[in-house]
Amino acid sequence: MARTRSGVDEVHILWISEGMSCDGDTVSVTAATNPAIEDVVLGLVPGLPKVHLHNKVLDYSLGGEDYLAVFRKAARGELEHPFVLVIEGSIPNEHVNGDGFWTSFGNRPDGQPKTLNEWIDELAPKAWGVVAVGTCATYGGIHAMAGNPTGCMGLADYLGWDFRSAGGLPVVNVPGCPVQPDNFMETLTWLLYQAAGLNPIIPLDEQLRPTWLFGKTVHEGCDRAGYYEQGDFALDYNSPKCQVKVGCWGPVVNCNVPKRGWMNGVGGCPNVGGICIGCTMPGFPDKFMPFMDQPPGAAVSSRLIRTYGRLIRTLRSMTNDTVSQEPRWRHDRAELTTGYDP
Ligand code: SF4
Ligand code: SF4
Ligand code: SF4
């Protein structure tokens, strides 16, 4: 196909959810609105390359070997267009699989299961870009917690944090359990515009997350932050007040969900009564457990802010009383008391 600009006009998205995964990120992305994945696939977003999506849940028109054909072609380096590899689920350590295997996707020519790891080894270096979707794929997530038998890990742990794709990019991490749908679609859209030659290189932080999505904490975007600042804390889950004392980790967690909501702006964990359990973070879940206990640092910070908050609330209450009264000159008496001086 003729190229109309410096970048590419068509891109395959090869999405493998055969990591240690619940497919929750694929399901989550169906709720995206900014942009919707169907709009991207249908070519309704101006300037994007034509997208061929291969995801077993979202593209169910083919099955079996027919479905695998494009993945096999890409592994042989024979795809006619560049591809973005999306991995969902954590990557098991196949060096410790005993006599079996942990997870697979189709079979090898000898009829034995082809492991996810073999697919990644073949596809990742050929991919224009490699994206880890969800916390399992980015950092290991739930399956990688202490005591797990698979030794599983995130994609960058497997490929190396200094890995570079054929397009010169490191692994792009979009964490969340599941991923916030628009966070993923916005990242994908950035990459597609970049592939088309219309965007600069995607800005990533040290944990390889898009900076504009993960640069702020939950606390900084939370509807309840005013209660925190006034030292007014919920003691159970039926309260509209700050939930730090009932297990919210928001002050130390990088996530934009309270600002963005979950689906089309609706929801957002602490905004709607759910404590933040740090599901986007590299240390999730171990470093946030036991869930629903007060975070260790919160005892100190909430004690400090409680004293300050009590004073501030009293002063604000007095000011609130004052500003709740109309000025004295608004009356119907036969005199002007506004202070007007002609
Ligand atoms: Fe499922 Fe969460 Fe893992 Fe995604 S990150 S595969 S939603 S457990
Ligand atoms: Fe911060 Fe959590 Fe309280 Fe919201 S509920 S203000 S995120 S501690
Ligand atoms: Fe996960 Fe906390 Fe963000 Fe909710 S607010 S999505 S629990 S990191």
**pLDDT tens digit sequence for 243-260:** 999 999 999 999 999 999
Assess whether pLDDT exceeds 50 at residue 97: yes
Burial of 99 (0-12, 13-18, 19+ CB in 10 A): exposed
* Gap from CA of 86 to ligand 1 centroid (Å): 14
Position 1 confidence tier, pLDDT thresholds 50, 70, 90: very low
Name the phi and psi angles at 326, rounded to 5: -75, 150
**Residue range(s) of every CATH 4.10.480.10 domain in the chain:** 219-323
Q: How far apart are CA 18 and CA 1, in angstroms?
A: 32
Name the DSSP letter for residue 307: H
Q: Which residue, by CA, sits nearest to atom 6 of ligand 2?
A: 225
Which atom from ligand 2 is nearest to the alpha carbon of 244? Answer: 8
Q: How far apart are CA 198 and CA 214, in angstroms?
A: 23
User: For position 2, what pLDDT does the model report?
Assistant: 38
Residue 262's closest CA among 24, 49, 93, 38?
Answer: 24
User: For position 93, what pLDDT does the model report?
Assistant: 98
User: For position 86, what pLDDT does the model report?
Assistant: 98
Chain CA centroid to CA 155, Å: 15
- The bridge status of strand 113-115 relative to strand 129-133 is unpaired
> What separation, in Å, do the N-terminal and C-terminal C-alpha atoms of the chain show?
78
154 within ligand 1 shell (Cβ under 6 A): no
Position 6 confidence tier, pLDDT thresholds 50, 70, 90: low
Choice from 216, 220, 228 to test ligand 2 binding pocket (greatest atom count within 8 A of CB): 228
The answer for 126, left when phi > 0, alpha when psi is -120 to 50, beta otherwise, is alpha
Query: Tokens representing 302?
Result: 């909430």
- The bridge status of strand 113-115 relative to strand 104-107 is antiparallel
CATH class in words for 219-323? few secondary structures
181 within ligand 1 shell (Cβ under 6 A): no
Position 5 confidence tier, pLDDT thresholds 50, 70, 90: low
Which atom from ligand 1 is nearest to the alpha carbon of 142? Answer: 8
* Gap from CA of 158 to ligand 3 centroid (Å): 25
* Arithmetic mean of pLDDT over the chain: 95
Q: What is the ipTM of this complex?
A: 0.99
Q: How far apart are CA 331 and CA 336, in angstroms?
A: 9
Assess whether pLDDT exceeds 70 at residue 304: yes
* Gap from CA of 184 to ligand 3 centroid (Å): 15
Residue 207's closest CA among 182, 168, 173, 176?
Answer: 173
231 within ligand 2 shell (Cβ under 6 A): no
pLDDT in tens, 37-75: 999 999 999 999 999 999 999 988 888 999 999 999 999
The arithmetic mean of pLDDT across residues 91-116, rounded, is: 96
Residue with tokens 């200094």: 162
Rg (CA), the chain: 25
0.90 exceeded by the pTM?
yes
Assess whether pLDDT exceeds 50 at residue 20: yes
Sorted by sequence, the CB contacts under 8 Å of residue 252 that are 6+ apart come out as 217, 219, 278, 295, 297
Q: What residue type is assigned to position 44 of the chain?
A: L
User: For position 199, what pLDDT does the model report?
Assistant: 96
* Gap from CA of 249 to ligand 3 centroid (Å): 9
Q: How far apart are CA 194 and CA 8, in angstroms?
A: 9
Assess whether pLDDT exceeds 70 at residue 143: yes
Which atom from ligand 2 is nearest to the alpha carbon of 226? Answer: 6
Right CATH for 10-212 from 3.40.50.970, 3.40.50.700, 3.90.550.10, 3.20.20.70: 3.40.50.700
Name the phi and psi angles at 14, rounded to 5: -100, 105
CB atoms under 10 Å from CB of 43, counted, come to 11
Sorted by sequence, the CB contacts under 8 Å of residue 100 that are 6+ apart come out as none
User: For position 299, what pLDDT does the model report?
Assistant: 84
Which atom from ligand 3 is nearest to the alpha carbon of 180? Answer: 6
Which atom from ligand 1 is nearest to the alpha carbon of 20? Answer: 6
Sorted by sequence, the CB contacts under 8 Å of residue 341 that are 6+ apart come out as none
182-191 core/surface letters (b: 16 or more CB in 10 A; e: else): bbbbbbbbbb
Query: Tokens representing 128?
Result: 């224009």
Choice from 21, 26, 180 to test ligand 1 binding pocket (greatest atom count within 8 A of CB): 21
* Gap from CA of 258 to ligand 3 centroid (Å): 8
pLDDT in tens, 251-284: 999 999 999 999 999 999 999 999 999 999 999 9
244 within ligand 2 shell (Cβ under 6 A): yes
285 within ligand 1 shell (Cβ under 6 A): no
124 within ligand 2 shell (Cβ under 6 A): no
**Residue range(s) of every CATH 3.40.50.700 domain in the chain:** 10-212
140 within ligand 1 shell (Cβ under 6 A): no
